[in-house]
Amino acid sequence: METLFESYRLLLEITPTDYVRSFHNKINWKNRLIGLVGQKGVGKSTLLLQHIKKYDNIEETLYVQADDMYFSGHGLYETAYDFYKRGGKRLYIDEIHKYKGWSTEIKMIYDKLPKMSVVYSGSSLLALKKGNSADLSRRAIEYAMPGLSFREYLNIANGWNLKTASLDDILQGKVDFPYSEHRPIKYFEEYCRKGYYPFFKEEDYNLRLKQAINETVEHDIPSYADMPVASAVKLKKLMYVLANSVPFKPNYSKLAQELEIGRNQLPDYIEYLEKSRLFNALKEKGTGDSLLRKVEKLYLNNSNIAYAISDIKPDSGTVRETMFLSWMSESFNVTASSVSDFEIDGITFEVGGKSKKGHQIKDLDNAYLVKDNVEYAIGNSIPIWMFGFVY
């Protein structure tokens, strides 16, 4: 166990705490069993280590990675029990989906060590669902961590401390931006290319992002769905189609033919990519089961993915709509609009460029134009970058 403690302390030493994402405050850290899930690369490991460093008693805490060689000869429960006998009270397990049968042992820790708290994280949402053979629904509180909002990107890139804005504030143009010294459009364009993931400052950003995508598409999804590995090629092609398309309205028969798969298989492929948070599916408005509602349009989860995997510059209209949906879906139920692009809680949004006129919404009482390449809100015309302050 000493090797686990050494690795833990080394990681803790190099973990920066100058900026902690506000998502940290959404988590009730007092719960005995907490799950943190999200895409690869959104910063889950850093957040866990930052919390330990700032708020935990380090002597009573242990952080481990589930794919550590130590676990080739030791079990999770065994490790937790040994740590408990040494005075341990809080165990953090990162990348837990890489440990076979993880949920059964987590349940044992929860039930047999009532004074031990556990926080686990996993990048593969699909693998977490498949590996969850023991029912943790009455025990674990899970949180889904998104990538960086535009506001968070600005704060990290510039050392700022800009505050979030409610939807009402955004619709009135009230956001915390230092207009006197900076211009938002320049930053927004940079963010759309590479700013959604916290490693945006690294020179090999696109390479790292491609590797994360490949891990999900080539390993996580085929493993979850019991697909042949060759199916990963078709999943990649499906992502490539979206990356090079205008907002994509799925024609299942045509798309299935292009991908050389059965028509009935395609919805499964889309669902796998959506659950992995590589896709966002915009569905029709309705009150029924969201799984049964018709998919009106398909988007990549964020525009950074499009820039990373496309061999042409992504369509600007697609980039705008992709980021609007990505941000707003974190806090609201976003649906397709029968007259425009999006609808949120009865409010209609038409997304477009600077010269967008909004003929589709001219007769609607509660409707807004979401515009690119503008700095200020005027009337019902709101700059798209402002919506990136919603979290």
**CATH number of the domain where residue 46 is located:** 3.40.50.300
Q: How many domains does the chain have?
A: 2
Contacts (Cβ under 8 Å, ≥6 apart) of 104 = 133, 134
Q: Are residues 161 and 23 both part of a single domain?
A: no
Share of the chain above pLDDT 90, in %: 77
Same domain, 204 and 222: yes
pLDDT surpassing 70 at residue 243: yes
| 58: DSSP letter | G
Same domain, 375 and 245: yes
pLDDT digits (tens, 9 = 90+) for 108-142: 999 999 999 999 999 866 656 655 556 687 789 99
Residue 112 shares a structural domain with residue 131: yes
Q: Are residues 100 and 175 in the same domain?
A: no
* % of the chain exceeding 70 in pLDDT: 95
Do residues 28 and 13 both lie within one domain?
yes
Tell me what pLDDT residue 287 has: 62
Rounded to an integer, the average pLDDT of 78-88 is 98
Domain of residue 284 covers 150-389
Are 138 and 163 part of one and the same domain?
Answer: no
**pLDDT tens, residue by residue, 245-293:** 887 888 889 999 988 898 998 999 998 999 899 999 999 987 665 555 7
100 and 173 co-located in one domain: no
Examine the domain organization and report whether 259 and 353 are in the same domain: yes
pTM (predicted TM-score)? 0.92
The band of 391, judged by pLDDT with boundaries at 50, 70 and 90, is very high
**151-170, pLDDT tens digit by residue?**
999 999 999 999 999 999 99
Looking at the structure, do residues 240 and 330 belong to the same domain, yes or no?
yes
Q: How many CB atoms lie within 10 A of CB 386?
A: 26
Distance of CA 174 to the CA centre of its chain: 26
* Nearest-angstrom CA–CA distance, 260 and 242: 16
Taking the C-alpha atoms of residue 222 and residue 228, their distance in angstroms, rounded to an integer, is 6
221 and 353 belong to one structural domain: yes
pLDDT at residue 125, as a whole number: 63
Question: Domain boundary residue among 92, 110, 144?
Answer: 144
Of 82, 115, 144, at which residue does a domain stop? 144
Whether residue 264 contacts residue 258, with contact meaning beta carbons closer than 8 Å, is answered with no
- Are 228 and 377 found together in one domain? yes
State which of 120, 144, 168 marks the end of a domain: 144
User: How far apart, in Å, are the Cα atoms of 64 and each of 78, 122, 125, 143?
Assistant: 13, 13, 19, 19
